[in-house]
Structure 1
C-alpha cells in the first residue's frame, strides 16, 4: 500500500503572520521578513507531525492511494480523513494496463474518522491478480487555515513555536509538548491508517 501526496500545501495557506504574533509573545523573535522562510519550514514540519499523529489531513489537497487488494470488498476504509471527494477508482493489471471503474458503481460514504468507498450493490470490483487499485481522493478540512478545527490549528502553532525555540537542538531531542498532545488526543485515539485502528 502506498499513499502519495499529489498536491501540496501552498505557501498562501500557511498562517505565517499568525505564527509571528505567537512568537512575539516570547523572547528573542526579530520581526524580520527574512525569517519568513524559516517560519514556513517550522509550520510545515508541525503540520506534517500532527497529520502523522492523528491521521487527519488539515489543509485540503489531493492524494493517490495504491493497494493490492481491498481489505473488505463490501467497503474500503480510506487511509486518511476527512475525505471530501473521490475523483476516481482505477484497476491496474500486472502489465500496467489501467481501467477506470464506472463511478456509478461506487460511492463515497463521508465520515470524519472512517470515510469509506462502498459499492452500489454487490462488492467492490475485483482487483486483477498481481495487479493494483488506485484511489484518487481529496482530503482535508478545507483549503484555508480558517477551515481547521481551532484545537488542531492551535496545536500546529504551538508545535511550530516549539520547533522554532529548539531549532538548534538535535532533531531526536525535540519531543512533542504535552499541551500539543492534549490538543490532538481526541483526534489521535480515533486515528485510522490503511483501514486499521491505531492508538
Structure 2
C-alpha cells in the first residue's frame, strides 16, 4: 500500500502570523517577515507530525492510495480521515494498463474515524491478479486554518514552537513530543482493535 499526497498545503494556508504571535516575536520592524520561511518549515513539520500521530488530515488536500487488494468484498477503509470526496477509482493490471471504474459503482461513507469506499452493488470491482487499485480522494477538516478543531490547532502551534525553541539541540535527535501536545492529541489517536481496516 502506498499513500501519496498529490497536493500540498499552500503557504498562504499556514498560520504563520498566528505562529509568530504564539512565539511572541517582535513586531513593527522592517524585518518582521524575515523569519517567515523558517516559521513555515516548523509549521509544516509540526503539521506532519500531528497528522502522523492522529491519522487525521488537518488541512484539505488531495491524495491517491494504491493497494494490491481490498480488505473486504464490499467496502475498503481509507487510511486517513476525514475524507470529503472520493474523486476516482482505477484498476491497473500486471501489464500496466489502467481501467477507470465508473463512479456509479462506489460511494464514500464519510465517517470521521474510518471513512470507507463502499460498493453500490454487491462488491467492489475485482483487483486484477498482480495488479493494483488506486483510490483518489480529498481529505481534511477544511481548506482554512479555522476549519481545523481548536485543540488540534493548539497542538500544531505548541509542537512547532517546541521545534523552533530546540532547533539547535542535537540531544533531542531521538525524537520527543511534549506532554501538552500528546495530551491534546490523545482523543484523536486511532484505536486498533482486531484486524486493521
Compute the TM-score of the two structures, normalised by the length of structure 1.
0.92
1:79 is the counterpart of 2:58: no
Deviations 1:65-105 (A, max 9, x none): 00000011221000000000000110100111111111111
Aligned match of 2:180: 179
Structure 1 unpaired stretches of 5+:
none
1:36 is the counterpart of 2:36: yes
Shift of 1:173: 4.6
Which sits farther off after the overlay, 71-80 or 31-40?
31-40
Shift of 1:174: 4.5
Structure 2 unpaired stretches of 5+:
none
Given that residues 91 and 128 in structure 1 are in contact (C-alpha distance below 8 angstroms), is that contact kept between their aligned partners in structure 2?
A: yes
Aligned match of 2:120: 120
Given that residues 166 and 174 in structure 1 are in contact (C-alpha distance below 8 angstroms), is that contact kept between their aligned partners in structure 2?
A: no
The number of equivalent residue pairs is 191
| Aligned residue runs from structure 1 range 13-52, under 5 A | 13-24=13-24, 29-31=25-27, 32-52=32-52
Given that residues 113 and 191 in structure 1 are in contact (C-alpha distance below 8 angstroms), is that contact kept between their aligned partners in structure 2?
A: no
CA-based RMSD: 1.6
Deviations 1:130-181 (A, max 9, x none): 0000000000000110100000000000000000000101252551000000
Shift of 1:30: 4.7
DSSP-derived class of the 1:33 partner: coil
Aligned match of 2:61: 61
Q: Which portions of structure 1, spanning 4 or more consecutive aligned residues, are displaced by more than 6 angstroms?
A: none
DSSP-derived class of the 2:63 partner: strand
Compute the TM-score of the two structures, normalised by the length of structure 2.
0.93
Distance in 2 of aligned mates of 1:190 and 1:138: 23
Given that residues 90 and 133 in structure 2 are in contact (C-alpha distance below 8 angstroms), is that contact kept between their aligned partners in structure 1?
A: yes
